[in-house]
Amino acid sequence: MSGEVTMETLNKYVALDNKIRILENKNIRKTYNSLQKQYDETLATVKNLENLYEQCKKQTAKEKDDVDKLDIKSFLNKEAFDKSMSKEQAEYLEALNKEEVMKKKLDSVKAQVGEKDKEMKKAKESMEELEKLVQEQETLLSEIFDGAYGSDLENKLESDLDLVREKRQRIGNAKYKWTNGRILLQHACNQLAFANKRWGDIQNSSLNMQEKYGIATEARNNLIAAIQNLQSCQKYLDNIDFPYCKPKEVTTLEKATNNIYIDMQSPDRHKHAGECYKVTHKRAAALLQWFDNVINTVIEKDILEATKEESEANRKLRAERIKLLKEKVEGEGGKVDIDDTAIQLADDDDEAADIEIQAVIFKADNEEDNSLKPGGQDVAPAPTPVPLSELAPPPSGEDLFGNIEQLKKQHEKEVSDFQKAQEMNKARLQQGLEAKLAARRHKRSRTTAE
């Protein structure tokens, strides 16, 4: 027996639908999935860095032992001893620097674990709120329509909405990742600019060795932070092949950073290391330019279209359900006046504004909130932008958003299967069909995998 439908029933449905739409626009499910993946990756990174740090400490101890054990009596002359000692001390200094670099990386990533845990809990609360509202709405509709759909059209319109919502959420998730990645990349560019500036300052002949070590340490710390931001940016978009600052290039920069105290002592090595830093800065700036192009010319356009498409599908489904509710009232001898305002969707911020930035930025020890802004006097000049005609093309739609065409095919098959089932002997299949409809009724409450 269907439930009694009143104006209160209608208002309750509309209120639930408005709340659900606003939460769905925030891409809560996919955002939570992304955060869960990042959290798991961060824990794995901490474990890996802890192992590497222990290896670095052992290597440093070994190199220190080699220096301590070096005995002049084992050499034919002092010149041979000094040459060997210089080599061992350089290896010890390199190992010690590598250990310090690894420790800084480990400490930075450990600090992220707590931040990401907070983000996940906040996202989970929002997701649970959404699931509760969806379940409440589905229970209401199930009571009104005896556990089935009010009409074949309602079923089709809900299926259409599921398709366009999944499409819009995939594009929204892509924007979330690319926007967060861009923030990390911007900081990496600023840190590389600062490191280049300080690396050039070392050549000042009036500086003593202690001052040079201090400047090299500033450059090193910014290089470490830039490397971590570049690597985090790649993790946000692990399915995208970056045209600039590829993993191999970042590894080269890491090696140069590990040798920074050795490189500062030789003009030739200083120059060679400086070229590595400058090239990486130039490539990072080109990558940032590429990000802006992808976000502004592809993702923004697609998300606007998908948001409008979803809004229209949502409006059609609501109109059909309100029509069915009205018919229910009139069929039971009642009357309810329904105007267009009940069908209109609630006003809310557009989808783009709903994306909450979740990037956790790696910072250098000397970095302050405003110290590394582009164009500041304490940073190297920004590289010349790459001409748009020479900029790498954006990724394919499938790389950006997944296989949306496959979604459409799956949707078409579901609609076709349902129509075929409707055309068959309803008496023989009624029980099985209602079970199928009930299963479809709850599919929106499931967490959608990326």
**pLDDT at residue 374 in the model:** 47
Please name which of 14, 212, 249, 23 lies closest in space to residue 131, comparing C-alpha atoms: 23
| Mean pLDDT value across the chain | 83
Give the CA count within 13 Å in the CB-facing half-sphere of 120: 15
How far apart CA 236 and CA 179 sit, in angstroms, is 10
- What's the predicted TM-score (pTM) here? 0.80
Interatomic CA distance for residues 108 and 102, integer angstroms: 10
Do residues 115 and 234 make contact, with C-beta atoms less than 8 angstroms apart? no
CA-based nearest residue to 281, from 381, 181, 183: 381
Q: What is the pLDDT of residues 386-421, one digit of tens each?
A: 888 889 999 998 888 887 777 777 767 776 666 666
**All structural domains of the chain with their residue ranges:** 7-445
pLDDT, tens digit, for every residue of 200-217? 999 888 889 899 999 999
Q: Which residue has the higher pLDDT, 321 or 351?
A: 321
- Could you read off the pLDDT of 326-377 as tens digits, one per residue? 887 776 666 656 655 555 655 444 444 445 556 677 888 766 544 444 444 5
Q: What contacts 297, CB < 8 A, 6 or more positions away?
A: 394
Cα separation of 284 and 77, whole Å? 50
pLDDT at 448: 44
CA separation for the pair 250, 28 (Å, rounded) = 33
